Amino acid sequence: MTTVNKKSKMSECKPKADLHSHHYSFNLNDADNAKFLFLFEESELKDKAHSITSCIFKQELKVVKVDKAVIGFITFA
């Protein structure tokens, strides 16, 4: 009998163009973690890593809050 070499699932994956090969780890205390999670939820980003890198590289983390009660009082110049 002949044995057939089966390819593993990993060998069938296409290589990514932008491989993320550098990983960093850091710790937060309870207060900092709560603040980070609040800002992450408000930013509506899908990935925590994107919000962290945007803060590190001083890109703007956009948080928009709309208060419908005061919209009538705001005028734009």
C-alpha to C-alpha distance for 10 and 18, rounded to whole angstroms: 17
Q: Does 6 score more than 80 pLDDT?
A: no
* pTM for the whole structure: 0.48
Contact (Cβ atoms closer than 8 angstroms) between residue 63 and residue 42: yes
Instruction: Please tell me what DSSP assigns to residue 11.
Output: H
Residue 24 lies in a domain: no
| Owning domain of residue 36 | 29-63
Residue 41 lies in a domain: yes
Number of structural domains found in the chain: 1
**Bigger pLDDT: 33 vs 6:** 33
Residue 9 lies in a domain: no
pLDDT digits (tens, 9 = 90+) for 9-31: 556 777 777 777 888 888 999 99
Residue 52 lies in a domain: yes
Distances (CA, A) of 14 to 18, 31, 49: 12, 41, 23
Instruction: Please tell me what DSSP assigns to residue 72.
Output: G
pLDDT in the model for residue 55: 77
Residue 59 lies in a domain: yes
pLDDT digits (tens, 9 = 90+) for 32-68: 999 989 988 888 788 888 888 877 777 665 667 777 7
